[in-house]
Structure 1
Amino acid sequence: MLRGKRVLIGIGGGIAAYKVCEVISSLFKAGAQVRVILTESATAFITPLTVSTLSRHPAYRDRDFWQPTHQRPLHIELGEWAEIFLIAPLTANTLGKLACGLADNLLTNTVLASRCPILLAPAMNTEMWEQLAVQRNWQQLRQDPRYHSVGPDAGLLACDRVGTGRMAEPTEIFLALQSLLYTQGKRDLVGKQILISGGGTREFLDPVRFIGNPSTGKMGLALAQAAFYRGASVTLVCAPLEGSVPVQILEIANAAQMREAMLQCLPKADWIVMSAAVADVKPASYTPHKLPKKALPDCLPLEPVPDILAELGTKKHPHQRLIGFAAQTGDIVKPALEKLQRKNLDAIAANPIDRAGAGFASNTNEAVFLDRAGRQQTIPSCTKLELAHQLFDFIQTVK
């Protein structure tokens, strides 16, 4: 998603500037071309040498603005070059300039000379962030379709204040950049209510032993991230997972809890994407204290758990779209087609879990998308975030 992409980064004057170093490094490692603009106040927190070393390209400052070495004005060249523009940390000062359309330095001039999507990552003291003027400027920018945001988060700030104002973490910014590069800033899922399940359920025998599977929830998380950055309202029902996404998250442990949460959220959903790896069976009885090893049964009685996807298929309304996942070995298409028909799905993503770099716990995935009209689309190996975006593209074409 990033190889060869042109990413322009503007760094504002704030202590969070050090976090941007990780973003620059990650972008370069992913194959992106990176250019960096430092405001004069930013150089008090991070040096041009640091960012130029990480980006493998000289950093730009205000003193480079009108140098005769540039055949064309620098802000015009950079604005036309960029495919996406990240401003991080976004300070209250730069926010105010952007809201008013002011251009008194290289960074703000380049904003006005560009047409690409702009991702804003605010960072400031909580009192500053909550000021009426700052919030007015922020809401004004968010109404402009060019501007997208990540954060700010809540937590301990550099001023020892606990509250909202922390810049989003580098991993969150990196994921947001990938989504915006894929969509080119379009918000084609605005107005959609999307319900997603993710992760693997655990069916406990006692407080420490359970029947489960290797699912980590990475695919569900990627689906939630992709839908969010395309403008959807997202609810993620999931087992505990690593990572974060700025959507409503309902944490569950077992299949019964997932069923309850999914059925509760179903009436408001337009699309339901069931990517969770739900257990098929559970221990017939649960012991609330840890069983001693000698008390473990030689033969463990099991009973089936409710088929959540099939139940959703019987309850969905004509305007709703229900999408399943089928983790398979060997031939993945035939079992997925049978599942599609049997459970009244609108589409399904068939995953090979017996191939390297696909399926459970991997950062990449591959799939075959199928719908009830008989269409098939093969998705070669890619990141799970890219696969999520391609699935949403596919769902929009389902009749």
Structure 2
Amino acid sequence: MLKSKKIIIGICGSIAAYKAAFLVRLLVKEGAEVRVIMTSSAKQFITPLTLATLSKNEVLSEFTANAEQGVWNNHVALGLWADLILVAPASAHTLARFSQGICNDLLTAVYLSARCPIMLAPAMDLDMYLHPSTQANLQKLRDYGNIIIDAASGELASGLSGVGRMAEPEDILQKLKHYFLPDLPLKQKRVLLTAGPTQEAIDPVRFISNASSGKMGYALAHTLTEYGATVYLISGPTHLTMENDKVTLISVRSAQEMFEAAEQYFETCDIAIFAAAVSDYTPVKKHTKKIKKSTEDLHLELSKTPDIAKSLSTRKGKHQFTVGFALETHDEEKNANKKIREKNLDMIVLNSLNDQGAGFGYDTNKVKVILAHSAEIKTFPLKSKQEVAKDIVQLIIDNYHA
């Protein structure tokens, strides 16, 4: 999708400039034609020779290519040549110049001359990024129609930790790919997705739960947005973070809280994916104070939690497609087929704990997918959960309204 695309990479003075080398390499590998424009301060962090070698094009920085011969770098022509301009890293100084229309170098001249889309990937220290003037400049640039690739959180060059890191080259590449996709198959589709475990409180410090990490659900959330979907991710407690502006994260703890949140979003969703490992039972009595070890035995009375997938999927509309998950230890296909019928699902993803590297906690998964309308079973080998997510989403696309 990036083959033959003409992309200008602008590089500003930032320690993150080293990432531009990886980004240029990725774009060239995808078949894009890349031209690099550097600010003078960017040369203090990475050499033009490195970028020229990777891009296979001369790196530009000055208006004049050869003053004695009257050769100049035509900023207007460059602005017209590009299918997209990406400034990464974009420093606070350059963002301010862009927002104010201050034209004092080749990069700003090309920016002001461009008729193509412009993406900006800010990189700076925490306090600079959060300063009201920087945030005002970013908002103004958004209002101009520029696409802002939000800075990520992590360790910064100053030694502080927080937001301000330039997005990783691989993430930026994905955003470019998404931009150039001519017709995203899930564009304007709303997806309800449950993920992670639930916790059923016994007392303020103890609970009933399971070993679900939420990795599969979060991988699905990212993949769905790559195909254009807007995702409402209802997640039980997990250490995972979600930094994706097309995903609305709703954090819950108990099965009842997850049910209430899912019910709120279900009516307006087009696709519902029930990937959470919901606790089947919850204590009837939830103690408000920590239970002390006062007897040899402790007896807990448990009651069933809501069956979220069944409750919602059995009242789905004609426009809705529902997907369930089944984690089994025996009679896997028999139990999964029973669930797909009883819960009125269109598709079910089957995990077996008997498969090495599959199930809770792993970064890999091995699944079978059963389709309700044909009873067909699709079997996939062990893959990373990111790759499994792509397989699942592609099956949803292929069978939605099939």
Give me the TM-score of the superposition, normalised by structure 1.
0.70
| Cα 1:19–1:309 shift into 2, 3 Å | farther
Which of the two has higher C-alpha Rg?
A: 2
Corresponding residue number in structure 2 for 1:138 = 142
Q: 1-side partners of 2:57 and 2:356: how far apart?
A: 39
| Cα 1:63–1:118 shift into 2, 3 Å | closer
Q: 1-side partners of 2:24 and 2:310: how far apart?
A: 41
| Partner amino acid, structure 2, of 1:243 | T
Q: 2-side partners of 1:157 and 1:277: how far apart?
A: 36
> Is residue 2:202 matched to residue 1:201?
no
Corresponding residue number in structure 2 for 1:377 = 378
SS at match of 1:336: helix
Q: 1-side partners of 2:354 and 2:24: how far apart?
A: 30
Q: Give 1:320 shift.
A: 1.0
Q: Deviations over 1:52-106 (max 9, x none)?
A: 8xx9999974379989xxxxxxxxxxxxxxxx996422357489889x9x9x869
Q: Give 1:376 shift.
A: 3.1
Q: 1-side partners of 2:353 and 2:315: how far apart?
A: 29
> Is residue 2:133 matched to residue 1:127?
yes
> Is residue 2:320 matched to residue 1:320?
yes
Corresponding residue number in structure 2 for 1:40 = 39
> Is residue 2:221 matched to residue 1:224?
yes
The answer to whether the Cα contact below 8 Å between 2:154 and 2:165 also exists between their aligned partners in 1 is no
In the TM superposition, what are the counterparts of 1:263-274 in structure 2 within 5 Å? Answer: 263-274=263-274
The answer to whether the Cα contact below 8 Å between 1:183 and 1:230 also exists between their aligned partners in 2 is no
> Is residue 2:210 matched to residue 1:213?
yes
Aligned match for 1:237, one of 234, 238, 248: 234
Q: Give 1:297 shift.
A: 3.6
Structure 1: which 5+ runs fail to align? Answer: 1-5, 68-83, 143-147
Corresponding residue number in structure 1 for 2:73 = none
Q: 1-side partners of 2:315 and 2:106: how far apart?
A: 57
Corresponding residue number in structure 1 for 2:149 = 150
Q: 1-side partners of 2:387 and 2:372: how far apart?
A: 23
Q: Give 1:209 shift.
A: 1.4
The answer to whether the Cα contact below 8 Å between 1:19 and 1:170 also exists between their aligned partners in 2 is no
Q: Deviations over 1:19-60 (max 9, x none)?
A: 46579779999xx899995723453562339988xx999997
| Cα 1:128–1:26 shift into 2, 3 Å | closer
SS at match of 1:260: helix
RMSD: 5.2
The answer to whether the Cα contact below 8 Å between 1:274 and 1:324 also exists between their aligned partners in 2 is yes
Q: Give 1:263 shift.
A: 0.7
Q: Give 1:395 shift.
A: 1.2
| Cα 1:106–1:154 shift into 2, 3 Å | closer
| Cα 1:56–1:204 shift into 2, 3 Å | farther
In the TM superposition, what are the counterparts of 1:223-302 in structure 2 within 5 Å? Answer: 223-241=220-238, 242-245=240-243, 246=245, 247-295=247-295, 297-302=297-302
| Partner amino acid, structure 1, of 2:271 | W
The answer to whether the Cα contact below 8 Å between 1:18 and 1:45 also exists between their aligned partners in 2 is no
SS at match of 2:314: helix
SS at match of 2:361: coil
Q: Deviations over 1:137-191 (max 9, x none)?
A: 535555xxxxx653146999999xxx9xx546646x6446457658964533221
Q: 2-side partners of 1:26 and 1:363: how far apart?
A: 25
Corresponding residue number in structure 2 for 1:357 = 357
Q: Deviations over 1:337-377 (max 9, x none)?
A: 22111100111211233333322222222322222122333
Corresponding residue number in structure 1 for 2:394 = 393
Q: 2-side partners of 1:187 and 1:393: how far apart?
A: 12
| Partner amino acid, structure 2, of 1:338 | K
Structure 2: which 5+ runs fail to align? Answer: 67-83, 124-128
Q: 2-side partners of 1:42 and 1:383: how far apart?
A: 40
The answer to whether the Cα contact below 8 Å between 1:13 and 1:45 also exists between their aligned partners in 2 is no
Q: Give 1:126 shift.
A: 4.2
Q: Deviations over 1:190-219 (max 9, x none)?
A: 211111111100112112211111111112
SS at match of 1:268: coil
SS at match of 2:360: coil
| Cα 1:137–1:57 shift into 2, 3 Å | closer
Q: 2-side partners of 1:330 and 1:108: how far apart?
A: 66
For this pair of structures, how many residues does the alignment match? Answer: 370
> Is residue 2:331 matched to residue 1:334?
no
Q: Give 1:330 shift.
A: 5.2
Q: 2-side partners of 1:290 and 1:20: how far apart?
A: 53
| Partner amino acid, structure 1, of 2:45 | I
Sequence identity of aligned pairs in percent? Answer: 28
| Cα 1:59–1:47 shift into 2, 3 Å | farther
The answer to whether the Cα contact below 8 Å between 2:9 and 2:37 also exists between their aligned partners in 1 is yes
Aligned match for 1:62, one of 44, 60, 65: 60
SS at match of 2:290: coil
Q: 1-side partners of 2:305 and 2:396: how far apart?
A: 28
Corresponding residue number in structure 2 for 1:73 = none
SS at match of 1:256: helix
Give me the TM-score of the superposition, normalised by structure 2.
0.70
